[in-house]
Structure formats: structure tokens, C-alpha cells
Amino acid sequence: MIGIIDYGMGNLRSVQKAIEFLGGTAAVTSDRTVLNGCEKLILPGVGSFAAGMENLRASGLKDEVLRRAADGTPVLGICLGMQFLLAESEEEGRHAGLALIPGRVTRFTRGKVPHMGWNGVEGMSSPLFTGIADGTQFYFVHSYYADAAAEYVIGKTEYFCTFASAVARGNVFGVQFHPEKSGAAGLQLLRNFMRF
């Protein structure tokens, strides 16, 4: 069972449907007892970093994510969920993240914002991308991006600057794009995560 963390924001049902399409089982829940019984966790998200982190803190889900990440549970952050994995964000001021991966979230200063649509991911260097050709296009919607320490970057994308579109540290992974909206390649990425 994969636990999809419901902290009141995000594209929860589309992620659940993608997992089920691949033959997996997924629970969308904020119940820490249910999440504790899940083999893997997905932290999805759409919206504001500050509001999302506050919801995670207030619900106790922040501590649950940190505890499960520390015990070796595979964790996948998607879009805003990936940004939560970093140390801090400058969205609406300066706000602390989960600090599971060194780096910070910063706003695009060039180009049309939000960065929306299909874009390639280069330098894919993780089992998360098994069976996916380098340069494959995924679907993005975001106004802020991850500036992560190079050793944790497993995929990069070009949009008026080069930014980390995929990060990893041990059992913790993050993707800025939406695999559940990225066709066959996105499903392959989720399949790979399910196999960890």
C-alpha cells in the first residue's frame, strides 16, 4: 500500500488513480495510523509553500514524514511536495521546509510564469528513471523552482535557467513535474517508485 498524504492541498485523486492504473493500491489519507502501515509515501501538492507547510505542521504530518523518511521508507514528493523536501522557500517570505534535501526554493525571474507545459528532463541519473530516455518530456506547472545542491540533483530542466527538476537523497525523491499527468513516461516513473 502506498500512502498519499492528504494535508488539504494537492492533486490527490489523480495520483491515486495513476497508482491504481498500474495495479497498485493507494490510500489518500491524513490518518497517521494508516500512513504508518504504508510501505511507501507520496507527498503531492499544488499551491502555496507557506500554507502547505503550515498544514503539515498543524496536522502532525510533518513529523510523520520526517520519521518515515528517517526509518528508510521510500518517499516521493511531487511538484510542491518536492519543494517541501528542501530546506527553505522564498515564496511569500522565507519559510522552512522539511530539510530532507539541501537546497532552497526560489522564484523564476525570467520567462513566462508559471512555467507551464511540457519540457525535457536531462541528466537523469537514478533508478527512478529506469526505462525512460534522457531528455524525455514531462508536464510542469510551477512558479518556483528548486536550487538544490548538485550532488542531490538527478534530473535538470532548462527554462530560462537550468533548475533541478528531480532530486534524491537516499530513500527520499522529488520531482518538480507531474508524473500522473505525463503520459507513459510519468507512469513508468511511478512504476519504478512502486518497485523500490
Task: Give the pLDDT band (50/70/90) at residue 47.
Answer: confident
What the block records as the C-alpha cell of 178 is 507531474
- Quick: pLDDT tens for 165-177: 999 999 999 999 9
CA nearest neighbour of 165 among 113, 102, 109, 123? 123
What the block records as the C-alpha cell of 60 is 502532525
For the chain, give the number of residues.
196
Instruction: Compute the Cα dihedral for 54, 52, 153, 161 and give only its sign.
Output: negative
User: How many CA atoms within 13 Å lie on the side-chain side of 105?
Assistant: 33
Which domains, and CATH codes, for the chain?
2-195 (3.40.50.880)
Respond yes or no: is residue 180 known to be catalytic.
Answer: yes
- State yes or no: pLDDT of 157 exceeds 80: yes
Mean pLDDT for the chain? 96
Task: Give the pLDDT band (50/70/90) at residue 29.
Answer: very high
- Quick: pLDDT tens for 76-99: 999 999 999 999 999 988 999 999
Q: What is the mean pLDDT of residues 142-150?
A: 95
- State yes or no: pLDDT of 10 exceeds 80: no
Active-site residue, from 95, 115, 142, 178: 178
What the block records as the C-alpha cell of 133 is 530516455
Active-site residue, from 38, 64, 79, 142: 79
Task: Give the pLDDT band (50/70/90) at residue 180.
Answer: very high
pTM of the entire structure? 0.97
Q: What is the mean pLDDT of residues 69-73?
A: 98
- Quick: pLDDT tens for 127-143: 999 999 999 999 999 99
Respond yes or no: is residue 178 known to be catalytic.
Answer: yes
What the block records as the C-alpha cell of 108 is 523564476
Active-site residue, from 38, 115, 142, 180: 180
Q: How does DSSP assign 87-112, residue by residue?
A: EEE-TTS-EE---SEEEEEEE--SSS
